[in-house]
Amino acid sequence: MNTGRGAPLLIACALGIERLALRGGDRSGAAGPVAVIRTGMGPKAARRRVTEALRHDHLARDAAVIATGFCAGLAPGMRPGDVVVAEETRDAAGTVTCTDSGTLATALRARGLTVHTGALHGSDHVVRGAERAALHAGGALAVDMESPVMLRSALGLGVRPVAAVRVIVDAPDHELVRIGTLRGGISALHVLRAVLPAFFEWHHSLLLPRR
């Protein structure tokens, strides 16, 4: 936990390699305490770890929460290293509306990143082929295994701002076999390291008086 003044921010990712990238980012713009946690892969692990962090870490109980890490893009033309800012997350349990996604998208684009906004679907397994096409036909822009559960778990413990920002590591025209072994995986890692300042800009905007 990076301590400081202001409201806390909890950033949750599933994989150790994602956490390593995030911890290597620039934290100078943080508006308050920041925690970056690794939940482990899959909905069950994500639910358990986010709930644990928000219940037992006194600095994080009232935190805004961002779910982040890698995802699979569903739309033709997406490339590894593109960023998906969720307007909402969806899974079998329902839909979670994200907070002020426009501010996040603007902050990321201002840093030269290619940003897509729309619905992020949550799955309990790796999605391939025809299933990926079906999810896109149903309105989803990208898919991962943890974001909807992370945000729903956070909201289940109290009203708070929530967001989901994912970096595409795998897309219809750029299928990745193993993260870090192909150029797309390396590109996604660099982008994930670069998103922190935009997260802090979003968090800071939430703390400003509303007119």
Q: What's the whole-number mean pLDDT along residues 65-77?
A: 94
Whether residue 180 has pLDDT greater than 60: no
Whether residue 13 has pLDDT greater than 60: yes
Q: What's the whole-number mean pLDDT along residues 123-144?
A: 87
pLDDT of residue 118: 97
Answer whether 180's CB lies under 8 Å from 186's CB.
Answer: yes
pLDDT of residue 58: 66
pLDDT of residue 1: 44
pLDDT of residue 91: 94
* pLDDT tier for residue 2 given thresholds of 50, 70 and 90: very low
Higher pLDDT, 75 or 180: 75
Whether residue 82 has pLDDT greater than 60: yes
Domain ranges in the chain are 9-207
Answer whether 177's CB lies under 8 Å from 80's CB.
Answer: no
Whether residue 132 has pLDDT greater than 90: no
The mean of the pLDDT values for the chain is 87
The third-level CATH classification (topology) of the domain covering 9-207 is Rossmann fold (3.40.50)
pLDDT of residue 25: 75
Whether residue 150 has pLDDT greater than 60: yes
Answer whether 113's CB lies under 8 Å from 91's CB.
Answer: no
**Among 132, 126, 147, 178, which Cα is nearest to 68's?**
147
pLDDT of residue 207: 75
HEC profile for the chain?
CECCCCCCEEEEECCHHHHHHHHCCCCCCCCCCEEEEECCCCHHHHHHHHHHHHHHCCCCCCCEEEEEEEEEECCCCCCCCCEEEEEEEEECCEEEECCCHHHHHHHHHCCCCCEEEEEEEECCCCCCHHHHHHHHHCCEEEEECCHHHHHHHHHHCCCCCEEEEEEEEEECCECCCCCCCCHHHHHHHHHHHHCHHHHHHHHHHHHCCCC
- Rounded to whole angstroms, the Cα distance separating 102 from 184 reads 26
pLDDT of residue 45: 96
Whether residue 178 has pLDDT greater than 60: no
Residue pLDDT, tens place only, 153-172: 999 999 999 999 999 988 77
- Rounded to whole angstroms, the Cα distance separating 110 from 135 reads 29
- Give the β-pairing of 162-170 and 64-73: parallel
Tell me how far CA of residue 110 lies from CA of 69, 186, 210, in angstroms: 20, 22, 23
pLDDT of residue 165: 98
Q: Which residues contact 115 (CB under 8 A, 6 or more apart)?
A: 82, 83, 84, 85, 105, 108, 109
pLDDT of residue 22: 92
- Rounded to whole angstroms, the Cα distance separating 128 from 58 reads 40
